[in-house]
Amino acid sequence: MRTYTQIKDKVGSNLRDTGFANFATTELDEELVDAIWEVSQFFPHERMETYTIESRVGTASSTSSGNLVDATKSQFLAGDVGKMVFNSRDKTWAEIVTFTSSTTVALSKDIMASGETYEIYNNECTSKFQINISDVTDYLGINKLEYPKGQKRNYDIDGTILTVKVDSVRDSKVVTSGTQPDTEVYIWFKVKQRVSQLTDFLGAVDLVAGYSAGDTSIVIDDLQSAGTIEADQEFTIAGTRGIYRVTADATIASNEATVTFYPGLESDVINDVVVTFTQSTLTNPMIELYVIEYATALAAIREPMQFYQQIHAAITTIALATTAITGIAARITQGITDIASGRTQAALAPAAIVLANAEFDLMNAQIDLAVTALAEGEPLANTVPVAGGAPEFMAQAGSDINAAQGFFASGRSYLNEASADLSNANTYTGVVSGELQAGTAKIREAQVNLQEVSSELQIASSGRIMEASGLAGLERVKAKLRRSVPRKYRTSQVYT
């Protein structure tokens, strides 16, 4: 029989993760809880618990507001709190809320008066054939029921109320102190298997005065130094009949814990009596292996959820890539606009050059006129003309030269304009280059994002492989469980 730690280590070994690097121990704790529950559906732990039929009857000996008084039978007990009282004459109900004495109990409602008859039933029950099994919190079913001891009976269950199918029951009043009437019902429950997480399974009762029969809480010492005794942990007490079950988690501090349990003590318990906690109910090695296989499969199925989270990351990254791609389109659009503007500027330069050429052509004509005027004026340089002479021709030539210079200046202006247009065109070319470089950067950004998406989706895909393996393993262990279910859990029997 393996301890809890050994079982978990085996699950880790099956997953090839003995150091629990990929599967956290807390995760495997959860898988083991579920695996034990699931395997218990096929191979439940069988635990016998004893209940008592409640069938006392009597007559109120006096009237007391809010109380039931029966001095004739003096049959009330401290454990009656919570039980139901039925006024069989008035057909009214109340619950016992306080034990006052063997002759008096306080009721939740004022229903009893002197001379009126009553019946007492178990908590929340409406007949003497019923018992309340709500304390069985790990209930999976019932294997058999005996009442009285050795006589198998049929039964009905409605919620947590069980009705024994018999025609009559004995009066449950204790007639002689120290004796018990034949009112015990023995039920073999099918309950969840358990593996204790304790490391030390022995303790001792810690109360010098001891405890009394019926008590449901005791202090236990000589335990491990710290830890938790979990609800549903089973234990036995030396010299006391029955198996007891912890009803609420109990914290161990300084080797001691106060434990509440069910059912109440069957008999008085003295100080220092040994308490033994059940290490595991998986006494059959085959069932233990089923739990290990089931937990392994569950872990393999559920672990990929971490991988599938990469899909959400991929969706986010795709959005980033989309934004980058959108940026590429914007840069290209702007580049096309800038190219068009550059072409416009470049087209203006030839026109300006043409205009410059035209001005230069006009300059040539003026120079020619100046040359002609100089040629005509030269012969007259050493003569005294009657009407105008060389100076006039020289002045005319100077005027023609000035006109030519004007045309030259105008042509040069056009060339400067052409140069400016070409410079603007080059500027637009530079802007286009910048836009294209920005677009290239966005392309690289989109490529990186898409590569990241590819990696994230590959991780998610590997999760599917692990999940498929886990599902296959789960189906295998379920098939084994179905084939191995004991016959007594496959069929039902009817008793009379």
Distance CA 85, CA 123 (A): 9
The more confidently predicted of residues 50 and 496 is: 50
- Is 258 domain-assigned? yes
Place of tokens 């096929």: 42
Q: What is the CATH number of the domain that holds 367?
A: 1.10.287.620
CA dist 325 → 265, 338, 428, 451, 457 (Å): 76, 20, 24, 14, 20
The more confidently predicted of residues 320 and 382 is: 320
Q: Could you say which of 141, 170, 191 is where a domain stops?
A: 191
The pLDDT, as a whole number, for residue 312 is: 61
> Could you tell me if 122 and 131 are in contact, meaning their C-beta atoms sit under 8 angstroms apart?
yes
- Asked whether residue 109 falls in the same domain as residue 92, the answer is yes
- Is 15 domain-assigned? no
Q: What is the CATH number of the domain that holds 259?
A: 2.40.30.290
Tokens coding 158: 């409605």
pLDDT digits (tens, 9 = 90+) for 325-365: 776 667 677 767 766 776 676 666 677 677 767 766 776 67
What's the DSSP call for residue 247? -
- Asked whether residue 212 falls in the same domain as residue 178, the answer is no
The pLDDT, as a whole number, for residue 390 is: 65
Place of tokens 């049929």: 154
Distance CA 307, CA 18 (A): 20
- Is 35 domain-assigned? no
Distance CA 271, CA 238 (A): 11
The stretch 4-10 carries a mean pLDDT of 95
Distance CA 36, CA 477 (A): 13
pLDDT digits (tens, 9 = 90+) for 145-158: 999 989 999 999 99
- Asked whether residue 390 falls in the same domain as residue 425, the answer is yes
Strands (E), 102-213: 104-107, 117-121, 130-132, 139-146, 155-158, 161-164, 184-191, 202-205
Instruction: Report the relative pairing of strands 104-107 and 45-52 from DSSP bridges.
Output: unpaired
- Asked whether residue 388 falls in the same domain as residue 432, the answer is yes
- Asked whether residue 103 falls in the same domain as residue 228, the answer is no
- Is 492 domain-assigned? no
- Is 36 domain-assigned? no
Tokens coding 64: 């007391």
Strands (E), 317-370: none
Distance CA 276, CA 14 (A): 32
Closest by alpha carbon to 206, among 253, 153, 262?
253
Closest by alpha carbon to 424, among 355, 348, 484, 350?
348
CA angle at 42 for the pair 36 and 45, rounded to the nearest 5°:
65
Distance CA 444, CA 337 (A): 23
Residue-number span of the structural domain to which 266 is assigned: 196-279
- Is 335 domain-assigned? yes
- Asked whether residue 55 falls in the same domain as residue 109, the answer is yes
Stated as kind and residue range, the H or E segment containing 99 is strand 92-101
- Asked whether residue 208 falls in the same domain as residue 94, the answer is no
Distance CA 277, CA 201 (A): 5
- Asked whether residue 259 falls in the same domain as residue 344, the answer is no
- Asked whether residue 268 falls in the same domain as residue 323, the answer is no
Instruction: Report the relative pairing of strands 45-52 and 57-59 from DSSP bridges.
Output: unpaired
The pLDDT, as a whole number, for residue 395 is: 76
Place of tokens 């990351």: 313
- Is 284 domain-assigned? no
The pLDDT, as a whole number, for residue 354 is: 72
Q: 89: Cβ–Cβ under 8 A, 6 or more apart, which residues? A: 116, 117
Distance CA 347, CA 425 (A): 9
Tokens coding 5: 């730690």
> DSSP assignment of 432-471, as one string?
HHHHHHHHHHHHHHHHHHHHHHHHHHHHHHHHHHHHHHHH
| Side chain identity, residue 358 | A
- Asked whether residue 456 falls in the same domain as residue 347, the answer is yes
Distance CA 455, CA 160 (A): 54
> Could you tell me if 265 and 211 are in contact, meaning their C-beta atoms sit under 8 angstroms apart?
yes
- Asked whether residue 132 falls in the same domain as residue 234, the answer is no
The more confidently predicted of residues 493 and 183 is: 183
- Is 5 domain-assigned? no
pLDDT digits (tens, 9 = 90+) for 428-460: 677 667 766 776 776 777 777 677 767 766 666
What's the DSSP call for residue 59? E
Distance CA 190, CA 51 (A): 16
- Asked whether residue 147 falls in the same domain as residue 127, the answer is yes
Total number of domains constituting the chain = 3
Stated as kind and residue range, the H or E segment containing 60 is none
Distance CA 193, CA 189 (A): 12
Q: Could you say which of 150, 176, 191 is where a domain stops?
A: 191
Q: Could you say which of 217, 245, 279 is where a domain stops?
A: 279
pLDDT digits (tens, 9 = 90+) for 228-273: 999 999 999 999 988 999 999 999 999 999 999 988 898 999 999 9
